[in-house]
Amino acid sequence: MERICPTSFVIFGASGDLTRRKLVPALFNQYVKGRLMEPIHIVGFSRRPFSDNEFRQLLLEGMQELTGVVPTMSDWNDFSQRIWYVRGDLSETKDYEQLRAFLNEKEGGFCNRLYYLAAAPAFFPLIIDHLGDLGMAKEEGGWRRVIVEKPFGHDLTSATELNASIHSFFEEHQVYRIDHYLGKDTAQNILYFRFLNTIFEPVWNRNFIDHVQITVAEDLDVGHRAGYYDRAGIVRDMFQNHLLQLLTLVAMEPPATFDADAVRNEKVKVLRAIGPIALEDTVRAQYEGYSETEGVAPGSQTPTYAAVKLNIDNWRWKGVPFYLRSGKALASKTSEIVIEFEPPPHVLLELPTDYKLTPNYLSLCIQPDEGIHLRFETKVPGSPQETRSVDMEFHYRTTFHGEALPDAYERLLLDALYGDASLFTRSDEIELAWSLVDPLMAGWEDSPDVSPLVQYTPGSWGPPEANAFMARDDRVWRMGCGEHNDS
């Protein structure tokens, strides 16, 4: 009789926040939906002493507190029977040996394993080395995969080193570098929107598009993450990964299929075509009060906000600027992509000379009010020739009957379990992204006067300099997804 091969989902750094906030809720939700492959063992590995039951309880409480999900006891009891805990120190070989023995026994022979690196990034190489040295990366009788959390490196050099360390034991097809923005349904929908409809793609180029804006704004400040954040800053934390990933989805050529490498090859071509970022084309800022936060170095120059203009030097995009901005402690949490179209070539109305027609623009609303809006001009009824901008709107919440969109981790964990890497970042993508942002951060440091660090008021839309930056190009930041006051 054929043996049913279980899958082990092993979490390194399992007592941390991520396991309770994201990983276990995502696995639990997929379990309840009947999508989780069975049999499965979810094994937490970390230093704190827990029994299996204590660990399960910690996860249950964490899930309720941090995500608001209150599972029925029967669902939780069924699911939690699949959870185990192995106590271990990430730097102790004997603890990995114990883990290996535990997994072998549970699995009853070689089976499939997914390792999740949820520990602090400084431990990633150590974990990889131990897995490799103990033969735990070898695909003998089952697959072995590793999911690597962000941040993936601190700069190009460290990212390249991390890739090399991973590749000394894992082949690229075994590696899943997570960027949770790619797990958001609305981010995935960018490719569906572009390539499963025929009406947008013909105008998706320099002949019809004036420019593109990508905004990822957060209302929260750095809070208790100041220790990490002060060393990272907005560019490492948001641009190198999430914003550049969104940009590649907007700008890439259609791949022949949705196959992981076909998609990622096209994304890589976009990253390669981005020209160097001129310091003059950037704004960097810090919110007032940041430097008094516990964990922030005195006199810290870490930006918590940035706006950047990029150019993609290829046939489709030559001459179409991409404006990217992101920041903490802004007026609201909202992520949106705006495609602003060219003005009409000739206006047939006799409008006053200072009359400005609002250009057409399309807003891809990533979150929180997920949807798509198309802004266009219309005649105000009864007026001789007055125009007004109106919206054609699609909202997920109404079209899909108020169902909450699944958390990004639900999709990503399932994809990794089923071996689909299309929503994960390949090594070359990561390195190209770093090679774009490294010179920018170095430039800010070496020539601080070209784009000096300015301040902004928490709860605003960033520094006035960011509006002046757009005005310089005779453009404005747009917010097409909701009632935002962009000033």
Q: In whole angstroms, how close is the CB of 444 to ligand BG6 at the nearest point?
A: 19
d(C-alpha 467, C-alpha 320), whole Å: 19
DSSP label at residue 390 = E
C-alpha distance from residue 484 to each of 62, 179, 324, 340, 487 (Å): 33, 27, 18, 18, 9
- Considering only residues 109 to 168 of the shown chain, the ones binding ligand BG6 according to CB under 6 A are 150
Shortest gap between Cβ of 124 and ligand BG6 (angstroms)? 16
> Residue 374 phi/psi, 5° resolution?
-120, 120
Q: Which is nearer to ligand BG6, 6 or 303 (CB)?
A: 303
Please report, as residue ranges, which positions from 430 to 449 form the binding site for ligand BG6 (by CB under 6 A). none
Task: Give the residues across from 42 on adjacent strands.
Answer: 9, 83
Choice between 218 and 340, CB closer to ligand BG6: 218
Three-state SS at 55: helix
Minimal distance, residue 80 CB to ligand BG6, in Å: 26
Residue 215 or 311: the one with the smaller Cβ distance to ligand BG6 is: 215
Tell me: does residue 429 bind ligand BG6 (CB under 6 A).
no
Rule CB under 6 A: say whether 237 interacts with ligand BG6: yes
Which of 218, 230, 415, 429: binder of ligand BG6 (CB under 6 A)? 218
242: annotated active-site residue: yes
Out of 242, 346, 395, 484, the active site residue is 242
* Strands 209-217 and 175-177, bridge-based pairing: unpaired
Number of residues that bind ligand BG6 (CB under 6 A): 4
Q: Which is nearer to ligand BG6, 86 or 324 (CB)?
A: 324
Q: What's the min distance (Å) between Cβ of 240 and ligand BG6?
A: 10
Is residue 370 involved in binding ligand BG6 (CB under 6 A)? no
Q: How far is the CB of 75 from ligand BG6 (least distance, A)?
A: 26
Q: What is the DSSP string of 195-257?
A: HS-SSSGGG-STTTEEEEEEEEE-SS--GGGHHHHHHHHHIIIIIIIIIHHHHHHHHPPPPSS
Closest residue to ligand BG6: CB criterion: 237
Report d(CA 344, CA 350) in Å as an integer: 14
Query: Closer CB to ligand BG6, residue 21 or residue 87?
Result: 21
Q: Would you call 101 exposed, middle or buried from its count of C-beta atoms within 10 A (0-12, 13-18, 19+)?
A: exposed
Residue 120 CB, shortest distance to ligand BG6, in Å, is 13
**Rounded (to 5) percent helix, strand, coil in the chain:** 40, 20, 40
- Distance, CA of 434 to CA of 270 (rounded, Å): 14
Q: Of residues 166-205, which lie at the interface with ligand BG6 (CB under 6 A)?
A: 180
What is the C-alpha to C-alpha distance for residues 196 and 211, in angstroms, rounded to an integer?
A: 23
* Residue (87 or 150) nearer to ligand BG6, CB: 150
CB under 8 Å to 202, separation ≥6 — which residues? none
> Annotated catalytic sites, by residue?
242
Residues forming the site for ligand BG6 (CB under 6 A): 150, 180, 218, 237
